[in-house]
Structure 1
């Protein structure tokens, strides 16, 4: 028996005498689980304030910067040049590339590309200077980037080990105002990684140390247009 099975078994035993909520009408197609949705009033705000698209993107940029991410803006045509400039400024000689990263994004750089491989060791990943990925979406109110392991983002570990992460956000399609609206668009069965700024921690004296359990430098490129090839 695995640890997972053991824990779930204890949860089931603890809930064995808990009666299912049988109040209120339930659509037949949704079954008993819908009663739980009805049992808790969800009257919280789904987003704070009314903003148009431009204001939402501006709020995202502001909150990203507040978390010490470095924010850049460009359009689709300018994206390869921006990425090439960021890799050059960082002094990168190698860059990790997810399997479905659009080819055109790296067309302006000669930096050596390293494929996202299942058998890469932590030591091998640590030797790579940078990683470039797309994202699942970005949340304006919290300045959060969400990755879901899609082919244009790669495995979670490739965004945790290299010290420099360049993340491309397609504007406005991938920008949502709030966490509740983000959850509606995310698949909970995927390996979600929520990133608010570069990796950082602090001790009891509040001395900030960056790069402890993720990239020391996070650069977010907000690209208008389709952001494709």
Structure 2
């Protein structure tokens, strides 16, 4: 038996449970065309596959969705904090003080009252800033575009409260503020509906991390070593 015969035999066995019209189409256009299989121009195989994918997994209340986000963020080793809107400036000041941060990188549209702590040197997002200058900043504080509960993912789209993509990739410490429940969605498909594909999207699932062939985890290789997420309610 030749190699060709063995391969064709495997194909026939793989197609044993496929309806005849689908198998004919799979053999190639010289045997059957899509139009011959389906007057609408689609092969029967395409009709047989259910394309109604789940848009989210399970039914949850708004509160349960937020809890799932917090749980998955923590699973990715992000540090999760919660506060009311009026408590946000105090919480940010405490987190930065605990980190020992003196210089904080801020995007142009970050609400000014978020960072009112005395002694902080605010470094503004500028196109002229070099990677070396950004690397010398202690922390960066941003908002976000949307947060995905099922995957524990934060999405930044370069809006004024988030700034250029690089300001969240170079500094070693990133604090991201998420408004709940307004900026939280259950799943990736629902998140995509809120995003503009042409914008510079950054998808963040935990702090930067990688591992070698021995599975030794190393953090901070291609992004912040520490990610803190503040879930803010109200406001």
Same fold (TM over 0.5): yes
Which moves more between the two structures, 44-53 or 60-69?
Answer: 44-53
The 1:111–1:178 alpha-carbon spacing in structure 2 relative to 1, beyond 3 Å, is: same
Equivalences, count: 194
Which moves more between the two structures, 199-208 or 101-110?
Answer: 101-110
Structure 1 unmatched runs, 5+: 1-18, 25-37
Superposition RMSD in Å: 1.9
Structure 1 distance, partners of 2:118, 2:183, is 25
Which moves more between the two structures, 110-119 or 100-109?
Answer: 100-109
Q: Secondary structure at the match of 2:214?
A: coil
- Displacement over 4 Å in runs of 4+: none
Instruction: Give the structure 2 partner of residue 44 of structure 1.
Output: 53
Instruction: Give the structure 2 partner of residue 201 of structure 1.
Output: 210
Instruction: Give the structure 2 partner of residue 159 of structure 1.
Output: 168
1:114-153 aligned at under 5 Å gives the runs: 114-153=123-162
Structure 2 distance, partners of 1:218, 1:62, is 14
Report the TM-score, using the length of structure 2 for normalisation. 0.79
Please list the CA deviations of residues 32-66 of structure 1 after superposition, one character each: whole Å capped at 9, or x if unmatched: xxxxxx9x963111101111011000000000000
1:48-197 aligned at under 5 Å gives the runs: 48-197=57-206
Structure 2 distance, partners of 1:79, 1:128, is 21
The 1:133–1:161 alpha-carbon spacing in structure 2 relative to 1, beyond 3 Å, is: same
Q: Secondary structure at the match of 2:129?
A: coil
1:189 to partner: Cα distance: 0.8
Structure 2 distance, partners of 1:23, 1:115, is 57
Structure 2 unmatched runs, 5+: 1-33, 42-46
Instruction: Give the structure 1 partner of residue 230 of structure 2.
Output: 221
Picking from 213, 217, 221, the partner of 1:212 is 221
1:209 to partner: Cα distance: 0.2
1:225 to partner: Cα distance: 1.0
1:110 to partner: Cα distance: 2.9
